[in-house]
Structures are given as C-alpha cells and as structure tokens.
Amino acid sequence: MKELWSIFNKGLILENPIFVLALSLCPALAVTSSVIVSLTMGLTVMFVITANNTVVSIVRNLVNPKVRVPVYIVSIATIVTVAQLVLQAYLPDLYKALGIYLALVVVFAIILARAEVFASKNGVIRSFCDGLGMGTGFLIAMLIIGAIREIIGSGTFLGIQVMPASYNAPLMLVLPAGAFILIGYLVAGCKMLVQHIEKSKA
Amino acid sequence: MEYLTLFISAVIVNNFVLTRFLGLCIFFGVSKNVNASVGMGMAVTAVMTLSSIMAWLVYTYVLVPFKLTFLTTVVFVLLIASFVQLLEMIIKKHAPALYNMWGVYLLLIATNCVVLSVPLLNVESSFSLAKSIVHAIGSGAGFGVALVLMASLREKLRLADVPKPLEGLGVAFILAGMLALSFLGFSGMISL
C-alpha cells in the first residue's frame, strides 16, 4: 500500500509532468486561458493516461518489443477518440473550446513516455497508480496555470467575477506571450520547491 | 493572391509555435544551437508537406466516402508515424549524406503535435489540396523561423548571468514570451 502511494505521489511534485519533466507543454499554454477549459483538458488527459497505462500493462507480455510503439499509439489514439466522442456528445461547448488540442492528446509525449518507461515493465495495479498520479500532477499544474491566468487576466474564477469592478485586468496574461512568461516563472518556482524538498530529505 | 495571404498568415500571423503553442517540445529541445534548428526546420517542413498531401488524399477518398470521419485522429497518427519510418529508411538507403545531416530529427518528428496538427487543421477548415500544400509549407517555414530566432537568442543567452532557479527552461520560456509579444505586432496585418 505504501509502495503504491509512493508511485502515485511522485507525479504530483517531484516528477510533475509539466513543471519538472517539461513534457506535454503545448496544452499547458494553449488551453489554460480559463479554469473550466483547463479542468476539462486536465481530466481528459488524466483519463487517457490512466486507461492507457492499464491497457499497455495488460498486453505487455503479448506484444513483440519491435512493434511496441505502434501498438501503444493505436491504444492511445483509440482512447482519445472515445474521450473525443463523449465530450462532443455531452459537453459540445467545451469540445469546441478545446478544438484541435483534444485530438492532439494522442501525441502528448507524457502519455507515450509513461507507457514506455513504466507500464511496459510493471503490473496492472502499479501502472494504474502511476497513470493516476501523473494525471493528477498534470491536472494540478493545469489548474494552477488556468486559475492564475483567469483571475489576474480577466478578473473572474469559473466565470464568476472575483475582482472588484474597478479592476483593470492586464490583457497580457490572456495572450500567448503572457502564458509563456507565466510558465517560465512557475517552472523556476517549482525548481526551487523540488530543491527545498530534496534538501530537507538529505 | 489568396494563396499568398494564406502562406504569410501561416508563417507570421498564426505562427505555430508562438501563437498556437504547437511543437513546443521540439522548440525548447532543439533550439540550443542555430545549425540544428535550421536542419530541424527543414525536416519538419518536408515531413509536414508530404504528410498533409497523403492525409488529404486518405481523408477525401477513403474516410469521407466510407463515413469513417470519426476515425480521423487514429488514421492520421498511424499514417504519419509509418510514413516517417518509411522516409527514414528510404533516405538512409539512397541519400546517406542527407541522413547524416537530418536523420536524427526524423524520429523526433514521427509522433509530434506540430506535424499531426497541420493535416487536422486542413481537414477542419476544408482546404483544397493546393491550399493544404501551401498551408503546410507556410506552417513549416513559420516553425523554422521561430526555431532559428530562438536558437540565436539562446546562443547569446549563454553569456548572460541568469538567476539560478530560472536557468535553463525557465528563462527559455520567458524569452519565448518576449518573442511571442513581438509576433503579436503582426496580428492585425492579415485578417482571415
């Protein structure tokens, strides 16, 4: 149990997919201009990465190592298509807001990387925990970025006005340039946090 | 004229890296020196154009007639990944010099969002074949331009005194932000 917790745990900060591993940065910048959109994207990726890790771990002994990457890609693409169809049917507005980035979940480096590095070598339960942990880390990062950009950039949170009416929102943070600069500082902040954790452990 | 506008808009106004945030993994990974960025830019443009043509043909003559458009993502990913592998083999056999120059980049491109997104965008905006090709070349060129600009800036940055936590990725992001800010100036140039 403790071992499973530590597998889950490492995706949150120490190996956070966005801030530390710097994989799958495209969605972290492109679909975080509001909280609700980043929440949807985060949950979708969490679902895809957990499901894919489970599938890969189940079939890991049946697949010839030479063709493993195409097999992983087919599995990821199938799961993403399922997510796409579900969102299109039940949440059409969010489906439109995510646009092309939803289809591009297929090629997120983090999903393929977890399949290759972890799920192809570990059992089903451990792979499931790893996927869930990485997915949660991704979701948290997306929510942090989304919240900062929405609160500061447009003065709202989940569409509700939180800043006083006289607040003059800097448009900069909603624009692409603001996203790049914000993530630059967040990456630096996370680096300091990781160093602090490692120092206190040692 | 229409084609020229499309091309310029793909290169500058809708720059893939700086306004659409695609291909960031390559953008931050390869932009450490100028030579590598030029090679990468060319390889991406070539692969993008060829795979756009193939994806367009498959979409128009296979997926649409058989009502399989919900499989677009799966089919395009497999098409591009297998095509890049094939291209790698052909280049290795027939043009070893070329392979030595750009071969390493080809595998990186095989499953990358920037290459997948162009065929998807072509289909989404229902471009004709000619327009798809122009769009693909323009997007590749825009990607190359951004890559070379970034690499030149980062080469200068090596001599700069950057605060410790910002070193590496942090400062690269901020630099990209500045670059994106300057590309914002082009946004009113062409309205599509």
Of A136 and A22, the structure prediction assigns the larger pLDDT to A136
Cα of first residue to Cα of last residue in chain B, in angstroms, is 13
Q: What are the pLDDT digits (tens) for B75-129?
A: 888 888 888 888 888 888 887 877 776 666 676 677 677 888 888 888 888 888 8
Shortest Cα–Cα distance, A191 to chain B (Å): 6
Distance from the A200 Cα atom to the nearest Cα atom in chain B, whole angstroms: 17
Model pLDDT, residue A28? 79
CB B51 within 8 A of CB B83: yes
pLDDT in tens, A137-190: 889 888 888 888 888 877 777 777 777 777 777 777 777 788 888 888 888 888
**With 60 as the cut, is the pLDDT of residue A110 above it?**
yes
Among all residues of chain A, which has the CA nearest to that of B179? A177
Q: How many domains does chain A have?
A: 1
Q: Whole-number mean pLDDT of chain A?
A: 83
User: What pLDDT sits at residue A107?
Assistant: 80
A80: contact with B, CB 8 A cutoff: yes
Interchain CB contact of A37 with B (< 8 Å): no
What are the angstrom distances between the C-alpha of A43 and each of A134, A142, B116? 12, 10, 22
Task: Determine the distance from the C-alpha atom of residue A196 to the mean position of all C-alpha atoms in its chain, rounded to a whole number.
Answer: 24
Q: What is the pLDDT of residue A148?
A: 87
Residue of B nearest to A70 (CA): B78
Spell out which residues of chain A touch residue B116, defining contact as CB-CB under 8 Å.
103-104, 106-107
CA distance B118 to B72: 13
Q: What is the predicted pLDDT for the residue at A15?
A: 77
Q: How much is the ipTM here? A: 0.77
Mean pLDDT, residues B51-77: 86
Which distant-in-sequence residues (6+ apart) come within 8 Å of B176 by Cβ? A180, A184, B17, B18, B27, B28, B150
Contact A184 B178 (CB under 8 A): no
The parent domain of residue A121 ranges over: 2-201
Mark B22-53 as b/e (b = at least 16 C-beta within 10 Å): bbbbbbbebbeebebbbbbbbbbbbbbbbbbb
- Name chain B contacts of A23, Cβ cutoff 8 Å: 25
Distance from CA of A125 to the nearest CA of B (A): 27
Looking at the predicted structure, is the pLDDT value of residue B192 above 60?
no
Give the residue from B72, B73, B108, B135 with the most A CB atoms within 10 Å of its CB, the best one to mutate: B73
Contact A191 B170 (CB under 8 A): yes
A124 close to A58: Cβ distance less than 8 angstroms: yes
Q: Which residue has the higher pLDDT, A16 or A43?
A: A43
Q: Which residues contact A103 (CB under 8 A, 6 or more apart)?
A: A80, A84, B72, B73, B116, B120
Residue B31 has pLDDT above 80, yes or no: no
Rounded percentage of chain B residues whose pLDDT exceeds 90: 2
* B190 has pLDDT over 70: no
CB contact under 8 A, A30 and B81: no
Given this model, what pLDDT does residue B23 score?
78
- CA closest to B29 among chain A residues: A22
pLDDT-based confidence at residue A51 (cuts at 50, 70, 90): very high
In a 3-state reduction of DSSP, which class is residue A73? helix
- Chain B residue with minimal CA distance to A79? B74
Indicate the pTM of the whole model: 0.82
